[in-house]
């Protein structure tokens, strides 16, 4: 019977396809092609699928909320593993996938080495076990992809770790961490004076087509470019209070402050039970020695007061411009998370021994920031008043402006001044706002 099976298998063609190279030559390709920086080899593309399907498969496998709080080295290892499983390296004939089960079945690709899987379990410090995402490096796998029924199946990962027979994925690449310093902190940065560091959100929150894991500073640069296009085009006559409140609102909303949560403090929160919790976590395979110095970074959202200050101090300006993008929504929610909280809120729950431990952050008050030496300027015929509180000051176009009509010189009659004032009050409402956005 064994002889018959071997004889039949030797004539099976498992899949038809071709060997190609993954490329990402444009900025869009780099942002959307998940494995472009990992797969530096020719891979096997079965005729039954296409590049878009492979890319979507990789994107879905790496899109997990818990991945955003894992150590950076863990996330890199996960990306290597997922990409090497989806993009199988083309083989020149040295493959031995089915030698595990004693069948000389030739295939045109090599499977990943077990070391790629072991690296995930090592770099992730056991946290994947806690989230139910642990990797089984001795799992069996159907490398016929459902086209044939075999009496038994080979290992998914080559247990020998011999590069002659399997893919080790040695490519070098960098990925963004969940906390980055603000690299545009010079005077030209859109959020200079407001932001010093920021939480890096999952790229899909910016654009659903983006790869879930991008290089350092990619997301920050995208956000910076978007904010710069708005803030740099604000009218120069905008008053200090409104200008500052507006920058705090938008910079605080789009460049969230990272707040640290130490793993050790989470365990200590169990009080007298923390010792027992540690024993149970150790039994689950968590590397507690390494985790004692590990920090989660979570987003801190701008406080309700930041939003209300912007609404109050820029109300007239927002009404004048009439752009929906400028209108604040201080009750806005994202899932169950308030974008402008007035108290501590839960960002994500941490599964721990049958219970869910909330990971929380406090509102970001943005109270130790500055407006980067902003100074308004006025068009000809308008001035910044020496005494802004003088009741005779006539701000144009409204109270959100720093500019007022200049004092009357004794060269026109009262009626002539009246006509000019009427024009001055209404003209800027048409002309000045045109420079905004």
What's the number of CA atoms in the CB half-sphere (13 Å) around residue 201?
A: 18
Q: Which domain holds residue 326?
A: 179-361
- 43 is a domain residue: yes
pLDDT band at 150 (very low <50, low <70, confident <90, very high): confident
pLDDT (tens digit per residue) in 51-68: 999 999 999 999 988 888
Q: Is the pLDDT of residue 95 over 90?
A: no
Q: Which two structure tokens, joined as six digits, stand for 334?
A: 């994202």
Q: Do 189 and 272 lie in a common domain?
A: yes
Q: Do 123 and 247 lie in a common domain?
A: no
Q: How confident is the prediction for the chain on average, in pLDDT?
A: 86
CA 39 to each of CA 24, 32, 171, 355, 405: distance values in angstroms, whole numbers, following the listed order:
11, 14, 7, 39, 64
β-sheet bridge partners, residue 334: 337
Q: Do 122 and 157 lie in a common domain?
A: yes
Residues 6+ apart with CB under 8 A from 67: 75, 78, 212, 213
Among 94, 90, 107, residue whose Cα is nearest residue 40: 90
* Number of helical (H) and strand (E) elements in the chain, helices listed first: 14, 14
Q: Do 263 and 340 lie in a common domain?
A: yes
Q: Is the pLDDT of residue 147 over 90?
A: no
Domain count, the chain: 3
Q: Is the pLDDT of residue 79 over 90?
A: yes
**d(C-alpha 18, C-alpha 16), whole Å:** 7
pLDDT (tens digit per residue) in 26-56: 889 989 999 999 999 999 998 889 999 999 9
- 436 is a domain residue: no
pLDDT (tens digit per residue) in 248-286: 999 999 999 999 999 998 888 888 888 888 888 898 889
pLDDT (average), residues 219-223: 96
Q: Do 8 and 139 lie in a common domain?
A: yes
Q: Do 226 and 128 lie in a common domain?
A: no
Q: Do 88 and 27 lie in a common domain?
A: yes
- 50 is a domain residue: yes
- 40 is a domain residue: yes
Q: Do 2 and 129 lie in a common domain?
A: yes
- 370 is a domain residue: no
Q: Do 27 and 144 lie in a common domain?
A: yes
Q: What is the pLDDT of residue 238?
A: 94
- 220 is a domain residue: yes
Q: Do 147 and 215 lie in a common domain?
A: no
Residues 6+ apart with CB under 8 A from 297: 69, 177, 178, 179, 199, 258, 259, 260, 261
pLDDT band at 213 (very low <50, low <70, confident <90, very high): very high
User: pTM of this prediction?
Assistant: 0.84
pLDDT (tens digit per residue) in 394-424: 888 888 899 998 875 554 454 544 554 454 4
pLDDT band at 15 (very low <50, low <70, confident <90, very high): low
Among 282, 246, 288, 228, residue whose Cα is nearest residue 264: 288
Tokens 């590990």, residue? 294
- 184 is a domain residue: yes
Q: Do 246 and 301 lie in a common domain?
A: yes
β-sheet bridge partners, residue 260: 297
pLDDT (average), residues 198-209: 92
pLDDT band at 436 (very low <50, low <70, confident <90, very high): very low
pLDDT band at 11 (very low <50, low <70, confident <90, very high): very low
Q: Do 203 and 273 lie in a common domain?
A: yes
Q: Which two structure tokens, joined as six digits, stand for 361?
A: 């952050």
- 221 is a domain residue: yes
Q: Is the pLDDT of residue 425 over 50?
A: no
């Amino acid at each position: 019977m064994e002889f018959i099976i071997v004889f039949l298998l030797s004539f099976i063609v498992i899949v038809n396809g071709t060997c190609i190279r993954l490329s990402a030559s444009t900025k869009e390709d780099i942002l959307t092609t998940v494995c472009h920086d990992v797969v530096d080899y020719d891979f096997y593309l079965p005729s039954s699928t296409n590049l878009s399907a492979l890319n979507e498969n990789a994107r879905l496998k790496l899109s997990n909320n818990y991945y955003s709080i894992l150590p950076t080295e863990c996330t890199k290892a996960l990306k290597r593993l997922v990409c090497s499983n989806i993009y199988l390296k083309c083989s020149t004939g040295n493959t031995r996938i089915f030698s595990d089960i004693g069948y000389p079945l030739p295939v045109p690709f090599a499977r990943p080495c077990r070391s790629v899987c072991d690296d995930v379990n090592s770099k992730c410090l056991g946290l994947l076990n806690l989230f139910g995402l642990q990797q089984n490096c001795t799992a069996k796998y159907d490398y016929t992809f459902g086209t044939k029924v075999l009496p038994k199946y080979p290992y998914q990962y080559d247990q020998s770790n011999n590069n002659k027979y399997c893919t080790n994925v040695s490519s070098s690449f960098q990925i963004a961490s969940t906390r980055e310093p603000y690299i545009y902190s010079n005077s030209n940065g859109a959020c200079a004076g407001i932001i010093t560091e920021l939480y890096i959100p999952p790229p899909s929150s910016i654009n659903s087509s983006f790869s879930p894991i991008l290089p350092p500073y990619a997301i920050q640069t995208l956000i910076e470019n978007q904010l710069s296009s708005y803030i740099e085009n604000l009218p120069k006559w905008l008053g200090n209070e409104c200008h500052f409140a507006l920058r705090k609102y938008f910079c605080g909303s789009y460049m969230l402050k990272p707040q640290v949560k130490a793993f050790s403090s989470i365990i200590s929160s169990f009080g007298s039970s923390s010792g027992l919790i540690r024993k149970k976590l150790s039994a689950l395979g968590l590397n507690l020695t390494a985790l004692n110095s590990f920090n989660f970074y979570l987003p801190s959202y701008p406080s309700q007061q930041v939003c209300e200050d912007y609404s109050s101090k820029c109300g007239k300006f927002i009404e004048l411009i009439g752009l929906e993008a400028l209108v604040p929504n201080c009750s806005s929610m994202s899932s169950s998370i308030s974008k402008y909280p007035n108290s501590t809120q839960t960002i994500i729950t941490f599964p721990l021994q049958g219970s869910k431990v909330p990971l929380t952050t406090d509102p970001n008050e943005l109270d130790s920031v500055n407006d980067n030496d902003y100074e308004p300027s006025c068009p000809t015929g308008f001035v910044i008043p020496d005494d802004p509180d003088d009741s005779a000051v006539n701000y144009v176009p409204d109270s959100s402006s720093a500019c007022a009509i200049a004092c009357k010189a004794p060269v026109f009659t009262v009626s002539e001044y009246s006509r000019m004032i009427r024009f001055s009050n209404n003209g800027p409402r048409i002309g000045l706002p045109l420079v905004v956005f």
